[in-house]
Structure 1
Amino acid sequence: MSIHPTLRYDDPRAAIAFLTSALGFREAAVHTGEDGTVAHAELAWDDGDDTGLVLIGPRRPGGDRFDTGPAVIYLTCDDPDAVHARAVAAGAQIAMAPVDQDYGSRECAVTDPEGTTWSMGTYRPSPGRP
């Protein structure tokens, strides 16, 4: 089983541009409607031998039971300082500067233009780990 966070954005195309330029995601798939707007996208986060996917879609007028609003997403990486510097250079809002946590992880966080917080760190959660 896999887990794939799904995020809704007012402007999915701008979110994709931000996430690829600021954080280093890559476009795995982008599907557009007849009018050219993004209907569904899959962005890949590569972490060594592991690849995770986050799904991006538009907010729907009149409400959407699957639109939960901004979220906090954690990304594992070997060098959070480098990801943080890249994000800041691309205009990301700093939520937490790089810091060494007491549990041994190096972590930082930025917020995207629509309010989702992207936290990056060296800690790699694992099933069965306390």
Structure 2
Amino acid sequence: MNISIHYAFLPHTDPEAALGFYRDTLGFEVRNDVGFENMRWITVGPVGQPGTSIVLHPPATDPAITDEERRTIVELIAKGAYTAITLATDDLDGLFDRLQAAGADVIQEPIDQDYGVRDCAFRDPAGNLIRINQLT
């Protein structure tokens, strides 16, 4: 039996900014863009990897969540404390340069970690923490 990760979910607070980051800067392809009322769910993923996607979704859409809880969630997202994802590339320095040139919020420049990984970190436009590992 094989198990794979098919979808990961990250909240967005601005769908156009999310598209600019994930599609235009990271180079992911848009696989789906669905709107309902004033909300959008955007599915993106790496070119050539149709089985792995990130669903960018509006935060706290559950009707059981109170307005106060919704505000808390949005505050946590903005601080990068709500969720995170780790990506990997065969050219960490090149991707770092591209993200930095695009104005992405740099959290950590590329560094060799004590635990054997070379990585860097950014926040996406909503504030989600995006770590990027160098593939070896």
Regarding TM over 0.5, the answer is yes
* Higher share in helix: 2
TM superposition score normalised by structure 1: 0.73
Alignment-derived partner of residue 13 in structure 1: 16
In structure 2, stretches of 5+ residues that fail to align are none
What per-residue deviation string (whole Å, max 9, x for no partner) do you get for residues 52-83 of structure 1? 21111123397489x68432210011111111
In structure 1, stretches of 5+ residues that fail to align are 125-130
Q: Which residue type is aligned with residue 20 of structure 1? A: R
Correspondent of 1:2 among 4, 27, 42: 4
How many Å apart are 1:2 and its aligned residue? 3.2
Alignment-derived partner of residue 58 in structure 2: 58
Query: Contact 1:25–1:44 (CA<8 Å) still a contact in 2?
Result: yes
Correspondent of 1:119 among 101, 107, 131: 131
CA 1:38–1:30: 2 relative to 1, 3 Å: farther
SS at match of 2:94: helix
What per-residue deviation string (whole Å, max 9, x for no partner) do you get for residues 25-60 of structure 1? 221221233x6x5532211024x7686211111233
Alignment-derived partner of residue 45 in structure 2: 44
TM superposition score normalised by structure 2: 0.71
How many Å apart are 1:102 and its aligned residue? 3.1
* Higher share in strand: 1
SS at match of 2:4: coil
**Could you tell me the percent identity over the aligned residues?**
29
Cα RMSD over matched residues? 2.9
Correspondent of 1:105 among 108, 117, 120: 117
